[in-house]
Amino acid sequence: MSNNNNNNNISSEYFIGAKGKGPSYNLLDEDQQQLITTNPKNRFKIVIVGDSGCGKTSLLSSYIRGSFPDVYEPTIFENHRAYLQKKNPDNSNLTSKNINNPDLVCLDLWDTAGQEDYERLRRLSYEDSNLVIIAYSVGARETLLNIPEVWAPEVLSYCPDVPIILVGLKADLPIKANQPGDSLEVAKRIGALAHIEVSAKEMYHVNTVFDTCINIILNNERMNKRSSVLENHQTHRRFPSATLKRNSMKNNNNNNNTLINDDYDISNINKNNDDYQGNDNYNYQHDYKEKRNCCVIV
């Protein structure tokens, strides 16, 4: 499976944040998968959502099968499982001796229906997800506009702590429906950790999408482990005073009353490479109100 990077009709306007940087992975073929007798330690669930017909199913099918599907069939729900191994410098293949090594990854890919009628069923797909891909078609502007209005609120409602990446599909189309910078502005609004334009038909950036997903998930897990160690250490320290806590909450409310982080400067994004270090914090803010008329006895 290869990425075609020579198609001049495809824009490379994208960014990959710091969490998405990391190694690349090879999709194992059927013979290699037969060597796997137990589930890998690194098993992750990725859900893709977006408007009906924007190209979600084609992206997953092209990635799993290595070719673009000839016939379009609307998807209600479909799951794929993929086994991958981190690319080694010596290009060594999977053997029975290393099937459980940490370089092996299992992805459960959940395809969903974009129609409003299937919302009740679709929300069941979010459970236990490690990452959500929100997709749109570069040839249909409404599919991009629906992301901050429909898809991002739905995702943040059912899995608020799960990382998001934004993917523009059908990037091989000669005419783009969006103005330059529109998709990056949406990525900024929803707190996406990456924005990648993809052509499943030309196999352009298809592998990049899933390499980025894996790296984000693994980097998140490493950060969570470090945070857990830090929290355990802090429990042995003296708690700050109640007055100090209230003042901290007031300052947070005063500083976090905007939807978009002012430190995120879209003009600084390098649109021709993936060296951009993204804002890895979600930009949706939560309001905290101070409780009054309370008495604390210590």
Contacts of 66 (CB under 8 A, 6+ apart): 1, 27, 203
Strand partners, 45: 108
Q: Could you give the 3-state DSSP secondary structure of residue 271?
A: coil
Angle between helices 206-234 and 56-65 (to 10 degrees): 100
Contact 246, 294 (CB under 8 A): no
Give residue 251's pLDDT: 53
At residue 14 the predicted structure's pLDDT band, cuts being 50, 70 and 90, is confident
Strand partners, 43: 106
The whole-model pTM stands at: 0.71
How many CA atoms, within 13 angstroms, populate the side-chain half-sphere of residue 3? 18
Alpha-carbon distance 40 to 32, whole Å? 14
Alpha-carbon distance 50 to 164, whole Å? 12
Alpha-carbon distance 118 to 56, whole Å? 16
More confident residue, 210 or 101: 210
Amino acid identity, residue 114?
G
Give residue 233's pLDDT: 55
Residues belonging to the chain: 298
Alpha-carbon distance 21 to 275, whole Å? 9
Q: Which of 65-69, 116-120, 230-234 has the lowest mean pLDDT?
A: 230-234
What's the pLDDT tens digit per position in 239-290?
Answer: 444 444 445 444 555 554 444 344 434 444 444 444 434 444 434 444 434 4
What's the pLDDT tens digit per position in 202-236?
Answer: 999 999 999 999 999 999 998 887 776 666 655 54
